[in-house]
Amino acid sequence: MNMLLPAVVLATGLLLTGCAGTPKMSVPESCAFLNQDTFVPTGNQQQKADQIAKHYQEVADKVAPEVAAPIQKMAEVMKQVAGTSLGATSAEQTKQLTEENNKIGQYCK
């Protein structure tokens, strides 16, 4: 997967009312934010996967719920990847990440 999905794919989904007082971006603002995200992880594959998972989570917490949901799912996948000994994505995980990225693309055209 090689973090092909820049931080652009940051989604947070679980934007439940628990984030009281934290206004979310609109969908257009979220898309602009994602298009300007320049996050680059460092370290070995496992460290990169962990950093990406955290970054996706942080982004998901900021963007519109429609965009956040797929990003949240991507964060969860990357947490699983970071938990492996090599920090490499499986074919199924890569498929999941691509599917979620495509969902973001439906909103950010």
Residues 93-107 pLDDT 10s:
999 999 999 999 999
Tokens matching residue 39: 């996050």
- Range of 71's domain? 7-107
Residue 71 lies in a domain: yes
Residue 1 lies in a domain: no
Residue 17 lies in a domain: yes
Section 61-72 average pLDDT: 95
pLDDT confidence bin for 24, thresholds 50/70/90: confident
Residue 85 lies in a domain: yes
Q: Which residue has the tokens 């990440």?
A: 97
Mean pLDDT score of the chain, rounded to an integer? 83
How far is Cα 58 from Cα 16, in angstroms, rounded to an integer?
A: 15
CA gyration radius, the chain: 13
- Please report the pLDDT score of residue 7 as a whole number: 40
- Please report the pLDDT score of residue 3 as a whole number: 38
Instruction: Tell me which residue of 57, 79, 76, 55 sits closest to 68, measured CA to CA.
Output: 57
Number of domains into which the chain is organized: 1
Is pTM, for the whole model, over 0.85?
no
- Please report the pLDDT score of residue 20 as a whole number: 47
How far is Cα 2 from Cα 104, in angstroms, rounded to an integer?
A: 19
